[in-house]
């Protein structure tokens, strides 16, 4: 059984980890870390201390619905999650991640526009 980094739990929610194939489990936000525990295998877990979080990017769909969010760490890349209530999960993160580190990820059109702009600069 994995040992939690948190001494106090502030928020829990059913979630899916999007690392490789989707893994179902529980997200736990506490005073020390963001934690994900696989519901079938307790030894399969992700623990991200708040001090290691660089920023959080959320995919916002029309109607202000949040499909998923990614936590970018300072050293270990990024981890993508989707909870039953992503908006409430991100609100619970606000106490640990500054507002300027909670970002909206670019949508498909913004990515394509940036790609076309970068291609137009290659010819110069």
Tell me, yes or no, whether 2 lies in a domain. no
Answer whether residue 117 is part of any domain.
Answer: yes
- What's residue 121's pLDDT? 72
Count of positions (residues) in the chain: 124
Residue of 73 and 109 predicted with greater confidence: 73
Q: Whose structure tokens read 């106090």?
A: 8
Q: Residue 1: inside a domain, yes or no?
A: no
In a domain, 75, yes or no: yes
The verdict on residue 39 lying in a domain is: yes
- CA angle centred on 44, ends 43 and 48, rounded to 5°: 110
Q: How many domains does the chain have?
A: 1
Q: Is residue 4 part of a domain?
A: no
Is 53 a member of any domain? yes
58 pLDDT more than 90: yes
Q: Quick one: average pLDDT of 73-99?
A: 93
Total-model pTM:
0.84
Q: What is the CATH number of the domain that holds 58?
A: 2.30.29.30
Helix (H) / strand (E) element for 3: namely none
- Domain of residue 61 covers 9-122
Greatest distance between any 2 Cα atoms in the chain = 58
Averaged pLDDT, 27-55: 93
- Please report the pLDDT score of residue 6 as a whole number: 86
Nearest CA to 37 among 4, 78, 70, 68?
A: 4
């Amino acid at each position: 059984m994995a040992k939690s980094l948190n001494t106090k739990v502030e928020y829990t929610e059913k979630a899916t980890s999007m690392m490789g194939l989707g893994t179902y489990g529980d997200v736990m936000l506490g005073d020390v870390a963001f934690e994900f525990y696989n519901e079938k295998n307790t030894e399969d877990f992700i623990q991200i201390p708040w001090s290691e979080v660089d920023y959080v990017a959320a995919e916002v769909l029309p109607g202000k619905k949040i499909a998923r969010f990614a936590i970018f760490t300072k050293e270990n890349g990024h981890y993508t999650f989707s909870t039953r209530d992503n908006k409430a999960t991100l609100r619970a993160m606000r106490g640990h991640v500054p507002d300027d580190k909670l970002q909206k990820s670019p949508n498909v059109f913004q990515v394509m526009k940036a790609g076309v702009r970068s291609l137009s600069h290659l010819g110069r």
